Amino acid sequence: MTEIRTFEPEDTFSVIKLASQTLTEKYNPSLFAYFYETNPDGFIVANLNHKIIGFLIGVKINNQKTKILMISVSPQHQKQKIGTKLLEEFIKRTQKEEINTIELEVRIDNHKAIQFYEKYGFRKIIKIKEFYQDNKDAYTMQLRF
């Protein structure tokens, strides 16, 4: 049974490894400790048999909006609703703060992530040219509830 819970410092190594396996951007490992220290509620992991198989990092932008910065599920566990569980937990935490909008950026060619977000009601609201370090474009997607 997959447990969805807040990140704990002992998860750091697994999260860094998962991020490097699944995300196109390369992140400085110290960033993960920073997010945990500044925003523990937004850092959610999926734990299966003492193994981290997914994580989500979101932040509060202001009193109206949160933003998902990263979401990742290990390749062996994708398409098993782990991403859904992480997203649902983040939506729940966002709603608890009485915030009704979640935004994120996604690469315009990341079709599976776009399909994932659209399934849960996110809509593309704008295209941002050369958003990423490699000059690729992004969509900003938004979910309002």
Ligand X SMILES: CC(C)(COP(=O)(O)OP(=O)(O)OC[C@H]1O[C@@H](n2cnc3c(N)ncnc32)[C@H](O)[C@@H]1OP(=O)(O)O)[C@@H](O)C(=O)NCCC(=O)NCCS
- Site for ligand X (CB under 6 A): which residue of 5, 81, 127, 144? 81
Give me the residue whose beta carbon is nearest to ligand X: 83
Q: Does 140 bind ligand X (CB under 6 A)?
A: no
CB of 109 to ligand X, least distance (A): 10
- Residue numbers 6-35 binding ligand X by CB under 6 A: 22-23
Long-range interactions of 63-68: CB distance < 8 A, separation 24+: 63/99, 64/99, 64/100, 64/101, 65/99, 65/101, 65/102, 65/103, 66/42, 66/90, 66/94, 66/97, 66/99, 66/101, 66/102, 66/103, 67/102, 67/103, 67/104, 68/102, 68/103, 68/104
Q: Supply 71's token pair.
A: 């979401």
Q: Does 116 bind ligand X (CB under 6 A)?
A: yes
Q: Residue 67: in which H helix or E strand, if any?
A: strand 65-73
Q: What are phi and psi of 26, to 5 degrees?
A: -105, 125
Nearer to ligand X, 106 or 143 (CB): 106
CB of 12 to ligand X, least distance (A): 19
- Site for ligand X (CB under 6 A): which residue of 15, 45, 52, 113? 113
Q: Does 80 bind ligand X (CB under 6 A)?
A: yes
Q: Is beta strand 65-73 parallel, antiparallel or unpaired with respect to 51-62? A: antiparallel
Which range, of 37-45, 67-75, 88-96, 124-132, touches ligand X by CB under 6 A? 67-75
- Residue numbers 33-62 binding ligand X by CB under 6 A: none
Residues within the interface to ligand X (CB under 6 A)? 22-23, 71-73, 78-84, 106, 110, 112-113, 115-116, 119
